[in-house]
Amino acid sequence: MTSVVSIMLKPEEALKKFKKPETSLLNRQEEGAKDDINQYGFIIDKVGFLIAEKTLCEIVTNTKIYPVPNTSSWMRGLINLRGNLIPVYDFSVLIGLADGKSECSNLLVLGKGSDSVAILISSLPRSCDVKKWKKLSHIPCHLSGFEEHVTDAYSSNDIVWMDFNYKEYFDSLKEKIVN
């Protein structure tokens, strides 16, 4: 009877058995390649927020949010994501679209490592084709406060979509977190 140890490959032999994956499609530089890239966005209370194309993001479900005492109501707390403490924001309360705390349990984490932020969301991000949307000349007045962080605003199916710099926006909130 052959033992399992005798049929196992040495690590250096095992590595030689695998083919390097094809990566040419990941780094396309030819003209028109940008047209194939979909932008994604998420909706909070009938307002859409576009996620920048190169933003690393993920959905986190069923995770414990640890509250932080003496913070604003829109600062829900912190999560531990792979050893990084990530702040969790109730975005609908933060931007004034809701009075009470959101009952959402899904988190959209934007960014990488310790620079990440998490936002409570009720539905998954969706693919957005902004080329087909009406570009707005200004942000609607009920969404004021975003002007300096929004690069473009669009309208599609009665939803205002904002292409905003989430990192700048959340960095600007640091002094406002504490009650």
pLDDT in tens, 41-92: 998 878 889 988 888 899 999 889 999 999 888 899 999 998 899 999 998 8
In this model, does residue 36 exceed pLDDT 70? no
- Name the percent of the chain in helix, strand, coil, to the closest 5: 20, 35, 45
The mean predicted confidence, pLDDT, of the chain is 80
Who has greater pLDDT, 22 or 128?
128
Mean pLDDT of 144-172: 83
The amino acid at 28: R
3-state secondary structure (DSSP) of residue 92: helix
Nearest in space to 120 (alpha carbons), one of 137, 136, 107: 107
Q: Give the contacts of 26 (CB within 8 A, at least 6 positions apart).
A: none
pLDDT the model gives residue 17 = 72
pLDDT the model gives residue 141 = 65
- In angstroms, the CA 64 to CA 15 distance is 39
pLDDT the model gives residue 85 = 93
In this model, does residue 99 exceed pLDDT 80? no
Give the chain's domains with CATH numbers.
44-124+134-176 (2.40.50.180)
